[in-house]
Amino acid sequence: MSDDGALIEGYEEDRPALDVACINARTHYASLVSSTGNHCQVWRSTRKRIADDSSDSHVEFVIKYPRDYFSIGDARILARHYRSLRESLGDIVPEALFVMSEIDGRPNLFVLARAVNIWFNIANPLNREEAIGLLRDHPLAWAQLKTFIAAARRWREGDNPRVIDLFGLDNLVMDNQRQIRFIDSFYVFFFEDLLHMLGGERDHDLEDKIGTSLKRLAYLEEILAFSDPEG
């Protein structure tokens, strides 16, 4: 897929890099759009809707290919967390399928999700003034961010405390329609209980991710307050 959404034809290097049994690489050309994630590479492609000849009949989607091995148990956990996101956040979280298939000759998980045209990084504190201005100008985005923050606080304060992953700066974004989207799929929550489960030794990497996520959540609360249309 090129940047303008046109289907790329005839380039072997534009096909998904992994061998997935349930995807016909000859008919699903894709372009690598992200290789920085801890758990997956992200490829982007397009497909025509069946029995639809309209001008907008093509659906853009991303294929999230795993870096590591995920068992069926892992897949169930990740899918359950995704359902929790969708139940609380609705369309803020793009539609996605968690699929077990044979990848590079062994069972593994990949994620197929509706593509998001990322326009602005709403969770980056370096973008503070611009973010406040955008939220003031776009009431729907402001309301979506309020919903996101409220859900994140409920998860943190609930019976099974968890911190939503804001460590990845590209997880929470504004798309080109000026709407808020949370686009992570693999291990979207950090559990603070795990900090103390390694024989008394603290997991400093997890501690850093949790601390950074909480700082960014506080930052999001700040810009939400400063951009309140009734404030």
In tens, the pLDDT along 166-197 reads 998 789 999 999 999 999 999 999 998 776 66
Element containing residue 75 per DSSP (H, E): helix 72-89
pLDDT in tens, 37-77: 788 888 888 876 555 555 566 788 889 988 899 999 999 99
Q: Identify the pLDDT of residue 225.
A: 97
How high is the mean pLDDT of the chain?
85
What percent of the chain shows pLDDT beyond 90?
Answer: 58
Residue 210 has pLDDT above 60, yes or no: yes
| Residue-level pLDDT at 8 | 34
Domains and CATH numbers, the chain: 12-114 (3.30.200), 118-226 (no CATH)
SS3 196: helix
Q: Cβ–Cβ contacts within 10 Å for residue 79, how many?
A: 17
Q: For residues 87 and 84, what is the distance between their CA atoms, to the nearest angstrom?
A: 5
Residue 98 pLDDT greater than 50, yes or no: yes
Q: How far is CA 119 from the centre of its chain?
A: 14
Token pair for residue 217?
């959540």
Yes or no: say if 162 and 189 are a contact pair by the CB < 8 Å rule.
Answer: yes
User: Phi then psi for 101, rounded to 5 degrees?
Assistant: -150, -175
pTM for this model (two decimals) = 0.85
Q: Is the dihedral of CA 225, 118, 38, 67 positive or negative?
A: positive
